[in-house]
């Protein structure tokens, strides 16, 4: 079986493009005679990195569960301020995980099942 790659926290870093650009600039600093020749390349590099960079992580955390003012979903998975609407997927996670989201989503689904069984006396 092939070796699985683990996602690093760098993948989740929104400033990854800036980090790549700084590394590029550091390489240029070490070769000062090439700086002028690559001035145009810096803009091209920045555009490339911003256009090409993507996350390999599953998108989550768009409807945060919690008790603060930024929370969309409460502890019973109901959308705050909207009657008869619940959310039971990865969007309710309060923070992006650095690992796979499958296991947390399974737990969220199991919890949703428990809540619905209790609510509807099933």
Q: Give the active site residues.
A: 58
If you count DSSP H runs as helices and E runs as strands, how many of each does the chain have, helices first? 3, 0
Q: Give exposure, 100-118, as e/b (b: 16+ Cβ within 10 Å).
A: ebeebbeebeeebeebeee
Distance separating alpha carbons of residues 73 and 88, to the nearest angstrom: 9
Contact call for residues 88 and 108 (beta carbons, < 8 A) = yes
């Amino acid at each position: 079986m092939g070796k699985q790659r683990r996602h690093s926290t760098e993948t989740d870093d929104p400033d990854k493009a800036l980090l790549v650009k700084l590394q590029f600039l550091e390489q240029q600093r070490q070769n000062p005679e090439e700086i002028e020749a690559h001035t145009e390349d810096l803009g091209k590099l920045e555009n490339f990195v911003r256009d090409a960079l993507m996350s390999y992580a599953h998108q989550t955390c768009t409807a945060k569960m919690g008790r603060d003012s930024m929370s969309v979903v409460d502890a019973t998975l109901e959308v705050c301020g909207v009657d008869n609407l619940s959310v039971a997927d990865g969007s309710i996670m309060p923070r992006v995980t650095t690992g796979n989201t499958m296991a947390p989503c399974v737990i969220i689904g199991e919890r949703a099942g428990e809540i619905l069984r209790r609510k509807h006396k099933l």
